[in-house]
Structure 1
Amino acid sequence: MESSSELVPFPLLMTPITSNYRACTIPYRFPSDNPRKPTTTELQWIDLFYSSIPSFKKRAESDTTVADAPAKAQKFAQWYSEILEDLKKDPENHGGPSDCILLCRLREQVLRELGFRDIQKSQEDEENAKAISIFEDVVRLNDAIEDGTRRLENLVKGIFAGNIFDLGSAQLAEVFSRDRMSFLASCQNLVSRPWVFDDLDTFKVKWSKKSWKKAVIFVDNSGADIILGILPFARELLRPGTQVVLAANSLPSINDVTYPELIEFISKWKDGSGKPVAVDTSNLLIANSGNDLPVIDLASVSQELAYLSSDADLIILEGMGCGIETNLYAQFKCDSLKIGMVKHPEVAQFLGGRLYDCVFKYNEVLS
């Protein structure tokens, strides 16, 4: 479904938009803080975004769709650096104070103003092709696990392993430029349980009852994340008859999968030669979330997504940006799952976990 221009609050948020809902998980400042002086947390996050500039500049330089890309990439680095320096001098500059949503939005605005629409496209295409090439193997391995609980555990490992492939982390972007990480090896090398949030055992009990009628999944990255992590998981939800809505970004941001890209994936997934899907996909819907950032404020989603979500009984927010840096503590009127990997030291420190720790935060709403 196409997104209309007017955005609305996500209908299943427990708290009214005007009161307690705050998208950002980390408290960047408190009412007692000096409004003209950046807090320690704000400075920490400004520096984090500053450290990502070289990797974004490098991607932009190689964007063949933009004329004079190297010069414009240099201009991006200069402009965005200046904006970050401005925020250090006065938190209220550029629509501040700073948080991860504002810092992401300002970065995207600079890129788009210079004509860059999808600087990760060539990397995404490469990762998508690799993921598609082993999709059938991943599905076969999952299907070979007869025990439903063990199969769920394997699917969850697949989501975490797929979520490692994230070009929004400066450290991981550097890893990708040097080496290609193995999805199957990543599944076996996740940090040990218990994770920083670990409600998997509780989720298993509810999963075994197959009681959800409709699930909405806010998806994250292209490549292994969506193809090898989320699609096999969604496939398992579809098997007992659960309707699944996959919600994707309206515009490219870092390597997040977009609505048009997801439509293309699913059209291939549904193809008669696309075995071993072996599941009825008539209950699978694709929605444009209305979001254009790697994080999401659920106060503003597309009307179409709001409509499709109004009767859902399971909400899944996947990925560090969507389900950890924003919305980790968001409460919903139905069951909710926040799942993703911690890929920034600053987030790990705030949560009291480890770098590359896993978040599996499940909240069940008892009727």
Structure 2
Amino acid sequence: MESASELVAFPLLTTPIESNYRACTIPYRFPSDNPRKPTPTEIAWIDLFLNSIPSFKKRAESDASVNDAPAKAETFAQRYSEILEDLKKDPESHGGPPDCILLCRLREQVLRELGFRDIFKKVKDEENAKAITLFENVVDLNDAIEDEGKRVENLVRGIFAGNIFDLGSAQLAEVFSKDGMSFLASCQNLVPRPWVIDDLDTFKLKWSKNPWKKAVIFVDNSGADVILGILPFARELLRRGTQVVLAANDMPSINDVTYPELIEILAKLKDNHGKLKGVDTTNLFIANSGNDLPVIDLASVSQELAYLASDADLVVLEGMGRGIETNLYAQFKCDSLKIGMVKHPEVAQFLGGRLYDCVFKYNEVLS
């Protein structure tokens, strides 16, 4: 972690953090398991990370900002493969036992040690530029829906459709490299409701009461995800008088949008009066989450985010990494929404759902 200031616990987690909060959703092992022997779940997840190495290597090879990138990409692939194979032999090697946070962190460490800072930068920039050209059209389609419940559902479907753009999933990275993604087609082709976790009707009922004064949204990927999924949703909250804090990664990881990139995106989307397609953005804040991974441990966020979030009454964790693989069962002092698409068969199996199923987990805290 290279964040400038000391990290703190996210203030809206239900206390005490020491006993209640566990970031990773899926238990890879139990206290009764042999500490020196990998569990079947650990092996399945290590294999998932092994299978992603070719797509990461390919991105690293073409990173023009790194001298001798192809050779260093090969070194990354070898080194990270060796670490994963070590963990299969001894789960306690390399700071284990492994979970999704450790497996992501080890991958980032190897990349950064070899000088790779942001191997997805080129594709992120391309996808951001594409999505920016579609933003007004997507917002117009949302605004044209007069029925509030249907408009909320359309905004939610937009978040799921945008969340498909995920180069951390080996299958989706392959699909994406072949033919890209069509946002509107993705909206229409979501798996039908009911989804594997589906609290949308409860959420719509609460939404109709216009209850939230301040929402904190942990954003996920660049491109369609943040621009066509999250920003129309955030704009609708702003339009209804809710303050919105968008929390983005401190440092690059896969194709997740970073804090500086999000500031740049919003500068391009706002008009000369600082409005987001006609909506005032005085109450829109961008925060550096202090995070440097595609998953998040809410025991360690930036002081800036902790300060901005302290009086929020809605927390939204978006994307498979932040809202499903970590924090699905996290408890908050206020209303919370975990929203994301299931992109790994292992996650689908754990949840009892389908690949590309949708998770919409809304918890209301009764005051």
What range is the shorter-chain TM-score in? over 0.9
The residue aligned with 1:128 is: 128
The residue aligned with 2:348 is: 348
Greater shift, 13-22 or 102-111, is seen at 13-22
**Whole-Å Cα distance in 1 between the matches of residues 272 and 21 of structure 2?**
44
**Whole-Å Cα distance in 1 between the matches of residues 276 and 110 of structure 2?**
43
Q: Check whether the contact 1:248–1:258 (CA below 8 A) recurs between aligned residues.
A: yes
The residue aligned with 1:185 is: 185
Q: Check whether the contact 1:42–1:99 (CA below 8 A) recurs between aligned residues.
A: yes
The residue aligned with 1:93 is: 93
CA-to-partner distance for each residue in 1:57-102, whole Å, 9 max, x for gaps?
0000000000000000000000000000110111110100000000
**Whole-Å Cα distance in 1 between the matches of residues 270 and 182 of structure 2?**
26
**Whole-Å Cα distance in 2 between the matches of residues 29 and 5 of structure 1?**
33
Please list every run of 5 or more consecutive structure 1 residues that lacks an aligned counterpart in the other structure.
none
- The alignment partner of 2:19 has SS state of coil
Q: Check whether the contact 1:216–1:247 (CA below 8 A) recurs between aligned residues.
A: yes
Q: Check whether the contact 1:4–1:303 (CA below 8 A) recurs between aligned residues.
A: no
Describe how 1:282-293 pairs up with structure 2 within 5 A.
282-293=282-293
- Check if 1:248 corresponds to 2:252: no
Report deviation, 1:274: 7.7
Return the letter of the residue paired with 1:192: P
Describe how 1:15-34 pairs up with structure 2 within 5 A.
15-34=15-34
**Whole-Å Cα distance in 1 between the matches of residues 140 and 43 of structure 2?**
47
Q: Check whether the contact 1:268–1:274 (CA below 8 A) recurs between aligned residues.
A: no
The residue aligned with 1:42 is: 42
**Whole-Å Cα distance in 2 between the matches of residues 239 and 119 of structure 1?**
36
**Whole-Å Cα distance in 1 between the matches of residues 319 and 338 of structure 2?**
8
Report deviation, 1:240: 1.6
**Whole-Å Cα distance in 2 between the matches of residues 174 and 248 of structure 1?**
26
Describe how 1:139-150 pairs up with structure 2 within 5 A.
139-150=139-150
CA-to-partner distance for each residue in 1:134-160, whole Å, 9 max, x for gaps?
111101101111111111111000000
Report deviation, 1:276: 6.4
Report deviation, 1:353: 0.3
Return the letter of the residue paired with 1:142: N
The residue aligned with 2:357 is: 357
Structure 1 312/276 Cα, relative in aligned 2: closer, same or farther at 3 Å?
closer
Report deviation, 1:273: 7.5
- The alignment partner of 1:262 has SS state of helix
Greater shift, 254-263 or 264-273, is seen at 264-273
- The alignment partner of 2:245 has SS state of strand
Report deviation, 1:269: 2.5
Report deviation, 1:267: 1.8
The residue aligned with 1:215 is: 215
RMSD: 1.2
The residue aligned with 1:305 is: 305
CA-to-partner distance for each residue in 1:226-248, whole Å, 9 max, x for gaps?
00000000000001210000000
The residue aligned with 2:54 is: 54
Report deviation, 1:309: 0.5
Greater shift, 219-228 or 17-26, is seen at 17-26
**Whole-Å Cα distance in 2 between the matches of residues 351 and 293 of structure 1?**
23
- The alignment partner of 2:22 has SS state of coil
Report deviation, 1:205: 0.6
**Whole-Å Cα distance in 2 between the matches of residues 201 and 240 of structure 1?**
19
**Whole-Å Cα distance in 1 between the matches of residues 18 and 221 of structure 2?**
30
Q: Check whether the contact 1:140–1:276 (CA below 8 A) recurs between aligned residues.
A: no
Return the letter of the residue paired with 2:331: Q
Give the % identical residues: 85
Greater shift, 120-129 or 160-169, is seen at 120-129
**Whole-Å Cα distance in 2 between the matches of residues 4 and 286 of structure 1?**
17
**Whole-Å Cα distance in 2 between the matches of residues 98 and 91 of structure 1?**
6
Q: Check whether the contact 2:214–2:242 (CA below 8 A) recurs between aligned residues.
A: yes
Q: Check whether the contact 1:136–1:276 (CA below 8 A) recurs between aligned residues.
A: no
Aligned residues: 366
Q: Check whether the contact 2:220–2:257 (CA below 8 A) recurs between aligned residues.
A: yes
CA-to-partner distance for each residue in 1:180-210, whole Å, 9 max, x for gaps?
1100000000000000000000000110111
**Whole-Å Cα distance in 1 between the matches of residues 365 and 93 of structure 2?**
41
**Whole-Å Cα distance in 1 between the matches of residues 16 and 188 of structure 2?**
41
Q: Deviation above 3 Å: which 4+ runs of structure 1? A: 273-276
**Whole-Å Cα distance in 1 between the matches of residues 30 and 247 of structure 2?**
32
Return the letter of the residue paired with 2:351: L
The residue aligned with 1:13 is: 13
Report deviation, 1:275: 7.0
The residue aligned with 1:227 is: 227
Q: Check whether the contact 2:270–2:276 (CA below 8 A) recurs between aligned residues.
A: no
Please list every run of 5 or more consecutive structure 2 residues that lacks an aligned counterpart in the other structure.
none
- The alignment partner of 2:339 has SS state of strand
Return the letter of the residue paired with 2:191: V
**Whole-Å Cα distance in 1 between the matches of residues 276 and 264 of structure 2?**
18
Structure 1 343/254 Cα, relative in aligned 2: closer, same or farther at 3 Å?
same
Return the letter of the residue paired with 1:24: C
- The alignment partner of 2:37 has SS state of coil
The residue aligned with 2:83 is: 83
